[in-house]
Chains A and B, each alone.
Chain A
Amino acid sequence: GDQVEQSPSALSLHEGTGSALRCNFTTTMRAVQWFQQNSRGSLINLFYLASGTKENGRLKSTFNSKESYSTLHIRDAQLEDSGTYFCAAEADTGANTGKLTFGHGTILRVHP
């Protein structure tokens, strides 16, 4: 089965509201990254976390390695937040290969 299970697969938000995306991991991960893929297809790195919580503007992300999950919270959603969000995690195998396993993505649509 997939090592990274991402949910929801799609999300629709009114401008100004918020929600959370989640990734569950079926194996121990050393770090997680979150990306936004915009309408042009560019993948923008939002967060890199080895543990704990980070915040950047209206985005906040948490990684709990022990309980094998990560979340991405979006508050006060804006139209430009629309896109596909991916989590990606690096398995804790002992070797630092940088190899990421991606979730299947969450298609976020923010509407007026």
Chain B
Amino acid sequence: ETAVFQTPNYHVTQVGNEVSFNCKQTLGHDTMYWYKQDSKKLLKIMFSYNNKQLIVNETVPRRFSPQSSDKAHLNLRIKSVEPEDSAVYLCASSWTSQNTLYFGAGTRLSVL
């Protein structure tokens, strides 16, 4: 099956902890993204990587760091979570030449 896979589906943690989310795509795409969807359902881009190179880095707090081992994987680490980080984190991928985005199912983070 070719798609975008995210783990975990849900994660509950406490303020100050570190969390990591994984994303893998088997579509052969060369670009991957992390988007954040807040409680009002607004989607905003956080990062994009093209062939393991960072090409978009929005004004995201420094505690967020993306990690790409190859063009099929893009993980997201949050060093010390804060309450406002509670959201759904959506990974996506596309071809650079035609940016139709394919999304994973998302990781819902709850920070207590």
By size class, the interface of chain A is 20 to 34
Complex CA–CA separation, A86 to B56 (angstroms): 21
Q: Verify if B12 is at the interface (C-beta below 8 Å from A).
A: no
Q: Verify if B2 is at the interface (C-beta below 8 Å from A).
A: no
A40 and B105 contacting across the interface, CB-CB below 8 Å: yes
Q: Is the interface of B mostly helix, strand, loop or mixed?
A: strand
B105 and A41 contacting across the interface, CB-CB below 8 Å: yes
Complex interface residues of chain B between 81 and 112 (CB less than 8 A to chain A): 88, 90, 92, 94, 96-103, 105-106, 108
CB distance from A109 to the nearest CB of B (A): 15
Count contacts on B: residues with CB < 8 A to the other chain: 26
Q: Verify if B60 is at the interface (C-beta below 8 Å from A).
A: no
Q: What residues make up the interface of B, taking CB atoms closer than 8 Å to A?
A: 31, 33, 40-45, 48, 55-56, 88, 90, 92, 94, 96-103, 105-106, 108
Q: Is the interface of A mostly helix, strand, loop or mixed?
A: strand
Kindly identify which residue among B33, B41, B100, B106 contacts A48, using a CB–CB cutoff of 8 Å. Answer: B100
Query: Which A residues are in CB contact (< 8 Å) with B48?
Result: 97-99
CB distance from B62 to the nearest CB of A (A): 20
Query: Which B residues are in CB contact (< 8 Å) with A86?
Result: 43
B102 and A45 contacting across the interface, CB-CB below 8 Å: yes
Query: Which B residues are in CB contact (< 8 Å) with A62?
Result: none
Complex CA–CA separation, A98 to B53 (angstroms): 14
Given contacts A45-B102, A90-B99, contact A99 B45 (CB under 8 A): yes
B43 and A96 contacting across the interface, CB-CB below 8 Å: no
Kindly identify which residue among B41, B98, B105 contacts A84, using a CB–CB cutoff of 8 Å. Answer: B41
Q: A96-B99, A98-B55, A99-B45 are in contact. List 11 more A-B contacts (CB 8 A).
A: A40-B105, A44-B103, A45-B100, A45-B103, A48-B100, A90-B99, A97-B48, A97-B56, A99-B56, A100-B101, A104-B40
